[in-house]
Amino acid sequence: MKCILNTGRTVPQGTSVEHKGSDTYRTVASAGFLNPVDMMMLGIEDGDRVRVTTPAGHIVLIARPAEGVAREEIFVAIGPYANHIISSETHGTGMPDFKSQRVDVEPTKEPVKSVGELMEAIGGLRYDRT
Amino acid sequence: MTELWVKNACVIDPLNHINGEIMDIAIRDGRIVESVSDRADVIDAQRCLTLPGGIDSHTHVSGTKVNFGRYMSPEDMRAGRTKRKGKMHVTSGYYVPTTFGNSYRYSAMGYTTLLEGAMAPLEARHTHEEFTATPHQDMMANTLFDGNWAVMDAVREKDIRKTAAVVAWTLKAARGYGIKLTNPGGTEAWGWGEDLTGIHEMVPHFAVTPAEIITSMIRANELLKLPHSVHLHCNNLGKPGNYQTTLETFDIVPDLNPARQTLYATHVQFHAYGGGTWKNISSKAEEITRSVNSKPQIVMDMGQIMFGRTMTMTADGPMEFNLHCLHHNKWSNHDVELETGSGIIPVTYSKKSAVNCIMWAIGLELALLTKNPYQCLLETDNPNGAPFVKYPEIIGLLMSKRYRDEECTTLHPETEKRTSLFALERELDWHDIAVMTRAGQAKALGIVNQGKGHLGFGAEADIAIYPIRTDSVDPAREYRKVVEGFQKTRYTIKRGRVVSRDGEIIVDGANATFWVDAKVPEDLKMENDPEFIKRFEQFYTVRMSNYPVQDVYLPRGRRIETEVFT
Amino acid sequence: MIEHDVVCPFCGCLCDDLELECEGGKIIKVQNGCALAESTFMTDTRLPAPIRRTETGWEKISYTEAIKETAEILQGADRPLLYGWSSTHGEAQSVGVHIAELIGAVIDNTSTVCHGPSILAIQEVGHPGCTLGQVKNRADVIIYWGCNPVEAHPRHMSRYTTYATGFFVPDAQRERTVIVVDTRRTDTAGIADEFVQIEHGGDYAVLSALRAIVRGKTSVIPAKVAGVSKEQLIRIAEICKTAKFGAIFFGLGLTMSRGKYKNIRNAIELTDELNRYTKFVISPLRGHGNVYGSNEVFTWMTGYPFAVDFARGIAFYNPGETTAVDILRRGECDAALIVASDPGANFPRAAAAHLAKIPTVIIDPHVNATTALARIHIPCTAAGIDAAGTAYRMDGVPIRLKKVIDRGYPDDAEILKKIYDRLNGGTGP
């Protein structure tokens, strides 16, 4: 299904934002909120995983229903999961397309990566001590 | 102990009645003394014009609205940029320079003390942060009270003592220097998008008039014995016909202080318009100066405009919005809760505009028609009329009829009919200029006894040595030399250290901030007043304990205490 | 021990009425704060000591070692990037600018991926705004456009708008009309009197339509604009025109959607237009607690609010060229110093990836996503918790953050000064 990726802040994301290595953060930042009708069209339920793909890459998110989300919109908290598939192109403004990226959403059985894994995928080395 | 000996200086020190004497100045540990040892560093001033450090009594260089002006104008930042060099940081901006830009350029012109024209108490911390980053001038802040709810309530209750107590608390909280009123009452009306059109019109809801605010604040100011007088930006700025408001305002000013004026009226050029529309606007400088000449209790500054692009920024929110409607330039507005307002918009003053030419003429007329130079000081309301780097050109114009005549030939043809500038023969002399750029300001601001504005024993050693030989330059004919000479000092000395030499800053600065701690009787202190406290609890959005400026923001604060009144 | 009137440093609201209970050097209770404040003060896990990445893992190093190596990295770089700054105080931000000027670096702050476009719009058409207390005391119409304060600025509505009692608005809930514009029905939309659901990328068109209606040109409006009905548009315009005082607050919904700064420009111009009929103001909801502070400090020191490039010896500003994401995307910088922020988490993948390719140092109290991409992480104080300093609220009001407890960390301003000293052969900024 084709959707527009919308990102933004949420309270759960904000309360765990200084603990990006935690399970709490992973859960809230990897949630992809979809309109329940869209979830029905995809044949998935709350907690099922989806693979979201763009030219910049792909990411696995946990699908959650949200009545308020528009049809063909997927809302993800700001953070490394959303950014994993957003292009760095800014069209000369300095600002990437954080809220206008077109994405492909499909159900998947792949696991959700941890923040550490995402960083290692781009050349980092996770620090897990705290 | 550091000693400096400036010899062969051609000194003009109006406050000490010295007018062109060749003399030496001895400096020890930042102050002027009778003599120094022969181990002192020596500067040979070579008979050059030597004046006390320049003092600007009304300039917008620091704070919220100034920074707004910078950040909305990247095109101006680009226009005035300079590289990092030696002790000098990078600077940007031509009509709204960055703080280092302001400091270096003022220093190059020999200025060592500045009064920031407007500071909203709620945002005072910002002004003080920028003061610290304007390191080569001692700073003071005019504190805005024109829309202050606590003041308007006390004025309505006709309680001068309470008004004074509010002023004292607020000045201390903001570490401010004096009372500033900008379009009094009008800035509160602007909170609703309205304005006032006369000094006897009621401020919506608060049931006081500008006239009442002005007279009450004057009396409160004198009760507190503040060093400076009330500093007023009259109502109706910029409107054709507004000279009536200005004269009416001047007429209600009593003479309450023998040592200085009772009212400082700022940028009066913008308040001296006759006519009734842009089409028939004319100069009323003659009427204004007739009033000022007969009222020693009033001191004004010119508010001279110069042609070219600049930025207007004042607390007069409604006036700035009107400019936006007129010129359609980018416009910013920033009203400050319970206190005041502000507006910022770039303008271009053009010789093709009859109105602008008349404005230009009016500023000069005010200076030339005021008999006593102590009563009309040289200012442009930087940057509203023009950036301060244009002061030397204004000096040139005031000293040379020839220069004025040459300029007048390039003006809009209507100008001659609507102003009297073309007929004025007077040429100011070096002494007049020294008064209008330092001695007059020191007296008006009440900082002579802080050692500013003069070169007598005990004074702070703030000295400007200009590359001008008064015995070999005829300012009436050689105005170009006058202009160039005032643009860049040979030496600017601040508290006994050479800070600028031929336009280059050679040391890091360590400026001081002057502020007033006005004392009030115990039973009037606002920190104990339940109504005052309630205003914070309920209507401000900052807690009363978090509101005052903490000491850490004034690393070299100079506290001036006043006597408690009874 | 109870500390009163504590300032929360987390978001642009800078609420300054918190009461904190401290015991044994720890904060054990937070009163008056929202959930974000509680987690900020109470679950404050820090990196204990500086760390450096090795081939296989991480090793602890001393502060002196870390500072020395950071200075060496910056000294040896041709085009260093100093990024972040939004969660620390003004004192540290000033030192950052001095360092950037000294070594000819690019210095940028988080506005670049947040309200940078708002700044671009303001630079075109100005900013008709006010302090939050003006809204609290006067506004009868509040518009939240492209933002969700319930989640991002939880106390905004109770301190400054919808629910706040004001001098001229004593019966706030009944007297204020709230309009929310968003692509999705958020919790903020749930409390609105009028919710305008807009299609993605449709803000510009809707703003233009409103401007047309305000100017009396209703006849040119089609039946629907970006999914919004003409009837609703007319209703909204009428509410605005008949307001006594209207306040528009906007967020990333405008800055990040298609059109970016053009959306904000249009919103500002709508506000200008409305000022001809009544009083209207517009303000961005700034995200980080002191991002506005970094704009203010950068501006009075350099002339520009973000994306400042000192490579030419002057201050140079050109968003799109000197902005952090673009510099990283082009692989242009060869060293990075990240302070008080987390670009690893907040930058698009390719830009964040470049940080791992070059020597990157991060100075921040907490382990975050950028830690994994860095060579060195130096922990420091957290402004507003164990360090005092100046912060600027979203409306420009400067408030002093307090030091509530001491955790034994050095202030990041001190660390930066030491780095400056090393870069400058021994003399301070």
User: Which domains are present in chain C?
Assistant: 48-112+289-423 (3.40.50.740), 116-284 (3.40.228.10)
Residue range B323-343: mean pLDDT, rounded:
96
Which chains does chain A touch, 3 or more C-beta pairs < 8 A? C
Which chains does chain B touch, 3 or more C-beta pairs < 8 A? C
CB atoms C44 and A129 under 8 Å: no
Q: What digits encode the pLDDT tens for the residues A7-20? A: 999 999 999 988 98
Question: Is residue A62 a part of any domain in this protein?
Answer: yes
CB atoms A14 and C148 under 8 Å: no
Amino acid at A92: G
Of C154, C185, C325, Cβ closest to residue A11 = C154
Reported as type and span, the H/E element at residue B263 is strand B263-265
Q: Which residue of C has its CA nearest to B69?
A: C126
Q: How far apart are CA B425 and CA C317, in angstroms?
A: 49
Of A8, A83, A100, Cβ closest to residue C347 = A83
Question: Is residue A126 a part of any domain in this protein?
Answer: no
Q: What digits encode the pLDDT tens for the residues B79-111? A: 989 999 999 999 999 999 999 999 999 999 999
Residue range A21-26: mean pLDDT, rounded:
90
| C266 vs A: CB within 8 A | no
Pairing mode, strands C51-53 and C376-378: antiparallel
Q: Which of A6, A97, A115, A125 to mutate to test the interface with C (most CBs of C within 10 A)?
A: A125
Question: Is residue A20 a part of any domain in this protein?
Answer: yes
| B334 vs C: CB within 8 A | yes
Under a CB-based contact definition with an 8 Å cutoff, are residues C283 and C394 in contact?
yes
How is residue C93 written in tokens? 């931000």
Task: Give phi and psi for B184, each to the nearest 5.
Answer: -55, 130
* Residue C330 C-alpha, separation from nearest chain A C-alpha, in angstroms: 10
Q: How far apart are CA B523 and CA B531, in angstroms?
A: 14
Q: Residue C429 has what pLDDT?
A: 64
CA dihedral C162, C165, C166, C167 (to 10 degrees): 160
Pairing mode, strands B463-465 and B49-52: antiparallel
Q: Is the pLDDT of residue C56 over 90?
A: no
**Residue-number span of the structural domain to which A27 is assigned:** 2-121
Of C34, C197, C352, Cβ closest to residue A83 = C352
How is residue C364 written in tokens? 């921040």
How is residue C90 written in tokens? 């003004």
Which residues on chain A are in Cβ contact (under 8 Å) with C287? Answer: 9
Angle at A113 between CA A111 and CA A119, to 5 degrees: 160
Q: Taking Cα atoms as reference points, which of C210, C211, C182 lies closest to residue C198?
A: C182
Q: In chain A, what's the furthest Cα-to-Cα distance? A: 42
Percent of chain B with pLDDT over 90: 99
Residue range C35-39: mean pLDDT, rounded:
94
Q: Residue B119 has what pLDDT?
A: 98
Question: Is residue A98 a part of any domain in this protein?
Answer: yes
Q: What are the residues facing C123 on neighbouring strands?
A: none
Task: Give phi and psi for C248, each to the nearest 5.
Answer: -105, 130
Q: What is the CATH number of the domain that holds A11?
A: 2.40.40.20
Helices B160-174 and B149-156: angle between axes, nearest 10 degrees: 170
Which residues on chain C are in Cβ contact (under 8 Å) with B126? Answer: 296, 392, 396, 398
Question: Is residue A130 a part of any domain in this protein?
Answer: no
Overall fold of domain B52-450: TIM Barrel (3.20.20)
Phi-psi region of B308 (alpha: psi -120 to 50; beta: other; left: phi over 0): left
On average, the pLDDT of chain A sits at: 93
Q: Is the pLDDT of residue C428 over 80?
A: no
Under a CB-based contact definition with an 8 Å cutoff, are residues B364 and B285 in contact?
no
Q: What digits encode the pLDDT tens for the residues B58-81? A: 999 999 999 999 999 999 999 989
Q: Is the pLDDT of residue C426 over 90?
A: no
Residue range B452-460: mean pLDDT, rounded:
98
Q: Residue A21 has what pLDDT?
A: 87
Under a CB-based contact definition with an 8 Å cutoff, are residues C91 and C65 in contact?
no
Residue range C397-417: mean pLDDT, rounded:
97
Number of compact structural domains in chain A:
1
Residue range C391-403: mean pLDDT, rounded:
98
Angle at B313 between CA B298 and CA B253, to 5 degrees: 15
Q: What is the DSSP letter of B57?
A: E
3-state secondary structure of C370: helix
Which residues on chain C are in Cβ contact (under 8 Å) with B546? Answer: 5, 7, 16, 399-400
> How many C-beta atoms lie closer than 10 Å to residue B388's C-beta?
26
Contacts 24+ apart (CB under 8 A), B275-279: B275/B240, B275/B241, B275/B418, B276/B240, B276/B241, B277/B240, B278/B240, B278/B355
Q: Is the pLDDT of residue A130 over 50?
A: no
Q: How far apart are CA C116 and CA C260, in angstroms?
A: 9
Q: Residue A100 has what pLDDT?
A: 87
Query: Chains C, A in contact: 3+ Cβ pairs under 8 A?
Result: yes
Euclidean distance between the first and final Cα of chain C, in Å? 38
User: 3-state SS string over B168-185?
Assistant: HHHHHHHCCCEEEEECCC
Under a CB-based contact definition with an 8 Å cutoff, are residues C12 and C288 in contact?
yes
Q: Is the pLDDT of residue A129 over 60?
A: no
pLDDT-based confidence at A128, cuts 50/70/90?
confident
Does the reported pTM lie above 0.90? yes
Please spell the DSSP secondary structure of A6-22, one letter per residue. EEE--HHHHHTTT-TTS
Q: What digits encode the pLDDT tens for the residues B162-217? A: 999 999 999 999 999 999 999 999 999 999 999 999 999 999 999 999 999 999 99
pLDDT-based confidence at C427, cuts 50/70/90?
low
Q: What is the DSSP letter of B437?
A: I
User: If you average pLDDT over each of A5-9, B155-159, C39-43, which comes out highest?
Assistant: B155-159
Q: Taking Cα atoms as reference points, which of C85, C33, C133, C151 lies closest to residue C404?
A: C33
Q: Taking Cα atoms as reference points, which of B533, B556, B123, B172 lies closest to residue C399?
A: B123
Residue range B284-311: mean pLDDT, rounded:
98
Q: How far apart are CA C114 and CA C291, in angstroms?
A: 10
| B128 vs C: CB within 8 A | no
Amino acid at C399: I
Question: Is residue A89 a part of any domain in this protein?
Answer: yes
Q: What digits encode the pLDDT tens for the residues C349-370? A: 999 999 999 999 999 999 999 9
